[in-house]
Amino acid sequence: MTQPTEVTRAAVLGAGTIGASWAAWFLARGMMVTVWDPRPEAEAYVRRYVAEAWPAMQRIGMVPGAAPDTWRFCATPEDAVAEAQFVQENAPERLEVKRELYGRLDRAMPAGTILASSTSGLLMSEMQAGLASAARFAVGHPFNPPHLIPLVEVVGGRDTSAETVQWCLDFYRHIGKKAIHIRKEARGHLANRLQAALWREAVSAVASGLASVEDVDTAVSAGPGLRWAAMGPHMTFHLGGGEGGMPHMLHQFKPAFEAWWATMTTPELSEETCRQLIEGVQAEAHGRSMQELVRDRDAVLLPLLELKAKQDAGA
């Protein structure tokens, strides 16, 4: 097994938004990358995605000598992994699709090569079951887009070895990611469950008439979202307790939080609610295209990432 710090050849399987973004990041870390995707337009899409992402990665840092063209497109997944030291799988989020692909990779991956899945919610135990190389399969779930957002959740399945989990944590951290260990399997892992919990209340606010889609988004982006970019909810509330920290915060606000939680319900994504959400985001976009929305998002993300990198370096 190649040491995490010595990986120079990575394979990306599945080249949609997530896979193309991973390919761009691996290239920025100076790796040779092989890419496979069954869609006829995939190769051109990856080439365009990497070219568009490259200026952002130059801004937030890349290894000396990294180049956007040190990759090749492969006709089969077997060809893509033939010489790979690490595989990032980004196939469609369907268990049967991943199981079929894993069966092919089980026979094709070099001995010692680690595979990490970008699955946003499937369980590795179900995907790896029955594979001879199951011990070398783990979840490495990024947040979109992986070439900008540093979080990666590492989750082992029932048959994943402890060595593989640690290897993945070390590898992702070595290539500049904020890798965290999710200690047991749960559908949606951790970050998506947190995100789903917030969106549940956001949808409920719209469906119940409490607020518009745009006002809900403003309530997050101009309020707690700004604090969450600096630190998570637990540390935020620790500061909210003033000099007394979390003990004082719990003493002061525990009854209020319990009362609020008691009133929260799970909304139904009915046709009417979906219509409200769709019309709401269209109104909030104020005519901006998807490309313009991505540009506006990245205009905020890039300086924030640079600032957080300086803070991490100082720490």
Task: Give the pLDDT of residue 271.
Answer: 97
Task: Give the pLDDT of residue 311.
Answer: 84
Q: What confidence tier does 1 reach under pLDDT thresholds 50, 70, 90? A: confident
Smallest CA-to-CA distance from 140 within 159, 166, 112 is with 166
**Structural domains in the chain plus CATH codes:** 4-182 (3.40.50.720), 191-314 (1.10.1040.10)
Return the DSSP state at 109. S
Q: What angle do CA 118, 70, 309 make, to 5 degrees?
A: 60
- What kind and span of H or E run contains 146? none
The Cα 196–Cα 120 span in angstroms is: 12
Q: What angle do CA 47, 10, 295 make, to 5 degrees?
A: 40
Reported as a single tens digit per residue, the pLDDT across 209-256 is 999 999 999 999 999 999 999 999 999 999 999 999 999 999 999 999
Average pLDDT over residues 105-127: 97
Reported as a single tens digit per residue, the pLDDT across 159-173 is 999 999 999 999 999
Chain mean position to CA 227: 20
Considering Cα of 226, then 240, then 191, then 196, what sign does the dihedral take? negative
The Cα 58–Cα 73 span in angstroms is: 23
Q: Is the peptide bond before 267 cis (omega within 30 degrees of 0)?
A: no
Strands 71-73 and 178-182: what pairing? unpaired
Task: Give the pLDDT of residue 261.
Answer: 96
In this structure, are residues 165 and 138 in contact, taking their beta carbons and an 8 Å threshold? yes
Reported as a single tens digit per residue, the pLDDT across 74-88 is 999 999 999 999 999
Half-sphere exposure (CA, 13 Å, Cβ side) for 74?
19
> Is it the case that residue 315 has pLDDT exceeding 80?
no
- Output the CA torsion 131→134→140→141 (10° steps): 40
Task: Give the pLDDT of residue 309.
Answer: 86
Task: Give the pLDDT of residue 166.
Answer: 98
For the chain, what is the mean pLDDT?
96
Structure token digits, residue 311: 């803070």
The Cα 153–Cα 135 span in angstroms is: 18
Chain mean position to CA 146: 6
Reported as a single tens digit per residue, the pLDDT across 166-199 is 999 999 999 999 999 999 999 999 999 999 999 9
Task: Give the pLDDT of residue 38.
Answer: 97
Give the percent of the chain with pLDDT over 90: 96
Considering Cα of 71, then 51, then 29, then 180, what sign does the dihedral take? negative
* Backbone dihedral region for residue 25 (phi beyond 0: left; psi -120 to 50: alpha; all else: beta): alpha
Q: What angle do CA 304, 305, 310 make, to 5 degrees?
A: 100
Task: Give the pLDDT of residue 284.
Answer: 97
pTM, rounded to two decimals = 0.94
Task: Give the pLDDT of residue 169.
Answer: 98
Give the ranges where the chain is alpha helix by DSSP (H): 17-28, 42-60, 77-81, 95-108, 124-128, 162-174, 191-207, 213-221, 224-228, 233-240, 245-263, 271-285, 290-314
Reported as a single tens digit per residue, the pLDDT across 49-80 is 999 999 999 998 889 999 999 999 999 999 99
Backbone angles phi and psi of 157, in degrees to 5: -90, -175
Identify residue 205 by its one-letter amino acid code.
A
Task: Give the pLDDT of residue 250.
Answer: 96
Considering Cα of 20, then 13, then 36, then 98, what sign does the dihedral take? negative
